[in-house]
Every structure is written in C-alpha cells, then in structure tokens.
Amino acid sequence: MARIAHHPAAQRLGRRLGHLGKRLLGALLDLVLPVPANQSLDVLAGVERVLLVRPNFRIGNTLITSPLIGALRQRFPAAQLDYLGGDTTMSLLRHLPIDHGYAVSRRFVARPWQFAALFWRLRRNRYDVAVEAGMGSFSGGMYTWLSGARWRVGCTGKGDRFLNLRLPAVATEHVYDSPVAFARHLGVDCPAHPVYRVGDDEAAEAESVLRGLGFAPDGVVLPFVAVFVGGHQDKRWPAQRWLELARSLGAAGGRVAVFLGPEEMHFAQRMADGLAGVAQVVPPRPLRLFGALWARAALIVTPDSGPMHLAAGLAVPTIAVLQSAGSFIYRPRRAHDVVLLRPSIEEVAAAVMAHPAWASIRT
C-alpha cells in the first residue's frame, strides 16, 4: 500500500479528487455560509489563546509558514500559541516556540470520527484567534472556521466565507516574502526565509551516521556536498543525470553524499552500484535526522523540492537545479546560493567546483 501511495499516478489522482471535493464543498457552502462582515485589527485585544493553521503535507509549504510562529509570538507575547498542521510535516517545527501541536491526516478520509474528535478538542480550547497561514487557502480557511475561534484571521481569497478578519491579499515576487508581508499586516515582522532548528540529540545522531559514511573520522565531521535526487516528477532530473553528476564530483576529489527520498528507492541499488568507491548513497531517513544531516553539509545540490526549503532554513549554501522558470519564486537567495535553470550536467558540476565551499569539500 505504501508503494501505491507514493506512485506518481496515485498522487495525481489524489490531488484531482481533492480539488474536485473542494469545488463541490464550495458550491454547497455558497448556499449555507455567506461571507461574514469584516472586522478590524482593533478587536484583537486581550488575546490569550492563538492557533496558527496550515494543514499541509508538503515539506516546503510547512517550512515557508515557519517564520509566522515568531511573528505571532511578537504580536501576542503573553498568549498560548498552538499549531494545526499536517501529520507528515509537523515534526519540521520541533524546537520552535509552539506550545501545542495538532495534526490532521489523510487517513481522516477513512476515519472521519478522528477528524471530528480533533476539532472537538480544538473547540474546547476556546481560541481567541485562529490565523490561516495559507494566504487565502480554502482548506486552511475551513479548518480555521472549524476550530471555533472567535476571531478568524487570514488573507482574502478562496476561504473568505470562513474568516471574519480578512487582511489584504499578499502578492510578492518570492514566496519567502509572503509571511513577511502577512506579518506586517499584523504590525510585526519575521525573517524572509524558513526557520529550522536542530536539537542536540539530532546533531549527535547525524554525526554517528556521518561517521559510518566515513565523513567524520576521529569525531570531526569533514565538509561534504549533499546531493538530493528527489522532488516532484516535473521538477526533477532523470536518475542517470544525478548519477553522472555525483560520479564527476567524486572523481574530482569531492566528498559526496547522495540522498534519496522514499520515492527514489526503486533506483537506490543502481545508484549504489554506479557510485561505489566514488560517493556515498544515503537511503531515506526520518525527517528530523535528514535535517540534522543536511545541517552538517558544506554545500547542497537540489532540485526545486521540500529539501531545498530545508536547506534555506538551515542556511547551508545551495545550488538549485531548476527545470522551470516558475520555480524562481521558490529559489534560494542567500549570498552563497546559486540558481541554475535547465542546466547541463557539466554546468552543474562547474558551479559546484566554482563555489567557495568546494575547496574544503575536496579530499
């Protein structure tokens, strides 16, 4: 069943059914739930309980939301701050200043009583404010409304009928600027990049893994380049290109670790055989350990993917291999980041070897 769930065709079908369900629900709600009168920010006084809502299962979308946690801490410094997110990505927010986390799951489709129990529990918390962090998301707005919060805050958009405090829509040239613009609507500020924290226990576990890969002799982690070969089907390179890139970097004397996601396990053996003695192939790891491993990399090479946003949250220099101009709004943009659009293998290898980090990565 897990293999079927990860199959691209099954994922496409799931997305289409989800979109269809939203359209049907929207048509029904038009009849029974009109858009409420809009309130001003002046009503947000004496707030004691706040719920930040982003029920999403993608790594990137959850990380893009992460700066709003600090923003809401500024806006409501004395309030309890909870988070409602997807069960597969909630762990990304560990070590951030959240009091309680609540998770929605795709399994709720087959277990609706668990869905009802979750929102019964949330309503019992009697939130003063629920903040829809999807910048106009229909599902985010609906979950914000179901929370029972007195004031439901978000950007105007597809979920207007669920919100009674609607802020202007956010339009930015880069997705990382959206939380900043939203926070400023609330009178506070936040970083213009994802926020991710690695715990001491996670760092120690990552060091143990790197020691097993030969990257941490005598307990000292040596600089290495991390290559992620996953991502959505239309945003990724074929496996053969990644294989040739890793082989060329290893042949040039670089310490190379090739990271696979769950969807790449079908060519894991091919990678291991093709890179034997040249680079290390790292099979899928739990998300928090994956983040701790990447925190120790000197340089990351990745397509437009969730791990690309993780690299941004860790502030590790990144070379982004983009297949579409549409991915530019998600690109990494720190001083030592490099963005390549539809590059050849040789162009990516040249960018890696020209990067300031390469001198330390070479053995």
Q: Assess whether 335 and 208 both reside in one domain.
A: yes
* Any domain includes 18: no
88-134 per-position pLDDT tens digit: 999 999 999 999 999 999 998 889 999 999 999 999 999 999 999 99
92 found inside a domain: yes
In a domain, 263, yes or no: yes
User: How many CB atoms are closer than 10 A to CB 356?
Assistant: 11
Question: What is the per-residue pLDDT for 109?
Answer: 84
Whole-number pLDDT of residue 132: 97
Torsion on CA atoms 212, 213, 215, 220, rounded to nearest 10: -10
Q: Mark which of 160, 185, 210 sits at the end of a domain.
A: 185
Print the domain residue range for 174.
Answer: 26-185
Would you say residue 158 lies in a domain? yes
Q: What is the pTM of this model?
A: 0.89
Q: What is the mean pLDDT of the chain?
A: 92
Confidence (pLDDT) at 235: 74
pLDDT higher than threshold 60 for residue 355: yes
Same domain, 140 and 288: no
Residues 206 and 252 in one domain: yes
- Tell me if 16 is assigned to some domain: no
Same domain (yes/no): 163, 205: no
Provide CB contacts within 8 A for 356, sequence distance 6+: 317, 336
**Lowest mean pLDDT: which of 5-19, 116-130, 192-206, 348-362?**
5-19
Total tally of structural domains belonging to the chain: 2
The CA–CA distances, whole Å, from 155 to 74, 143, 152, 355 equal 19, 14, 10, 40
Q: Are residues 248 and 306 in the same domain?
A: yes
Check which CATH number belongs to the domain holding 121 and give it: 3.40.50.2000
Q: Is the pLDDT of residue 147 over 70?
A: yes
Residue 56: closest CA among 118, 135, 2: 135
Interstrand relation of 165-167 and 318-322 (parallel, antiparallel or unpaired): unpaired
Q: Which of 12-21, 150-159, 255-264, 349-358 has the lowest mean pLDDT?
A: 12-21
349 and 211 fall within a common domain: yes
Range with the lowest mean pLDDT among 56-60, 246-250, 264-268, 345-349?
Answer: 264-268
Pair 137, 283 in one domain: no
- How confident is the model at residue 1, as a pLDDT? 47
For residue 2, pLDDT over 50 is answered with no
Single residue among 185, 212, 231 that ends a domain in this structure:
185
C-alpha distances (whole Å) from 182 to each of 188, 246, 316 are 9, 40, 26
Same domain, 54 and 166: yes
- Lowest-confidence region among 80-94, 147-161, 205-219, 220-234: 220-234
Which residues have C-beta within 8 Å of that of residue 59, sequence separation ≥ 6?
Answer: 89, 92, 287, 305, 306, 307, 309, 310
pLDDT for residue 157 is more than 50:
yes
Q: Which of 250, 313, 310 is nearest to 281 (CA)?
A: 250
Q: How would residue 3 be classed by pLDDT, with cut points 50, 70 and 90?
A: low
Based on DSSP, count helices (H) and strands (E) in the chain, helices before strands: 14, 12
Q: Could you give the CA distance from residue 63 to residue 89 in angstroms, rounded to a whole number? A: 9
Does the pLDDT at position 55 exceed 60?
Answer: yes
Q: Which residue has the higher pLDDT, 116 or 20?
A: 116
What is the predicted pLDDT for the residue at 15?
A: 67
Give a yes or no: residue 14 inside a domain: no
On whether both 206 and 106 belong to a single domain, the answer is no
| Whether residue 171 sits in one domain with residue 91 | yes
Q: What is the per-residue pLDDT for 18?
A: 66
User: Do 162 and 245 share a structural domain?
Assistant: no
Q: Do 178 and 213 lie in a common domain?
A: no
Q: Which among 158, 185, 212 is the end of a domain?
A: 185
Whole-number Å distance between alpha carbons of 83 and 283: 30
Within a domain: residue 302?
Answer: yes
* pLDDT confidence of residue 11: 60
Q: Is residue 251 part of a domain?
A: yes
Give the H/E segment covering residue 80.
strand 80-86
